[in-house]
């Protein structure tokens, strides 16, 4: 036996991922990332959120569960909201901005855009979690049916709840 064979003999192969989970992952990954991105506005953070969501689902649920897409969508919204909430807390603790930026083409516009994004994220972090999740899911492109399934609500109440969530959001933005 060669040295390579000797070395591999002690290595235990990781169990193969079930085909049903891989199919679920391939079907839902881009949507989960899109939902998270809509909230966190950072591709790397959105991908981290998606990874956390899929790992959590994999550990606790069967991949072929009928509720899988709804669960993943809701978890993406909630996890992303938790990311911005922790970012808000961290931002309050830190006094200096540690992120180096390139010289922008239009500094005034970039500053205004950054302030608007921060204001939106801050308002989402301050409103009720279910309201924030409703807004995150709706503005990520989910239909009323998909939102209802993701949050375990009746489809007939989604419109009213969205209007209330938007009112709460507006109130936070204008306060």
Mean pLDDT per 10-residue segment, the chain (175 residues)? 52 71 96 94 95 95 94 95 80 51 65 84 90 91 90 93 95 88
pLDDT for the residue 99: 45
Residues 6+ apart with CB under 8 A from 155: 144, 145, 148
pLDDT for the residue 86: 82
Q: Which CATH architecture has domain 17-93+110-174?
A: Up-down Bundle (1.20)
């Amino acid at each position: 036996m060669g040295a390579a064979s000797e070395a591999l003999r002690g290595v235990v192969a990781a169990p193969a991922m079930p085909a049903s989970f891989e199919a679920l992952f391939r079907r839902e990954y881009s949507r989960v990332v899109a939902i998270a991105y809509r909230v966190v506005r950072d591709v790397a953070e959105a991908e981290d959120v998606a990874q956390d969501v899929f790992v959590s689902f994999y550990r606790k649920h069967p991949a072929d569960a009928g509720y899988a897409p709804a669960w993943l969508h809701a978890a993406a919204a909630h996890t992303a909201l938790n990311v911005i909430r922790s970012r808000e807390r961290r931002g309050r603790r830190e006094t200096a901005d540690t992120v180096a930026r390139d010289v922008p083409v239009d500094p005034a516009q970039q500053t205004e855009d950054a302030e608007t994004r921060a204001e939106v994220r801050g308002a989402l972090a301050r409103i009720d979690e279910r309201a924030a999740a409703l807004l995150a899911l709706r503005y990520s492109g989910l239909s009323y049916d998909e939102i209802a399934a993701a949050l375990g609500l009746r489809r007939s109440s989604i419109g009213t709840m969205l209007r209330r969530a938007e009112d709460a959001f507006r109130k936070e933005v204008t306060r």
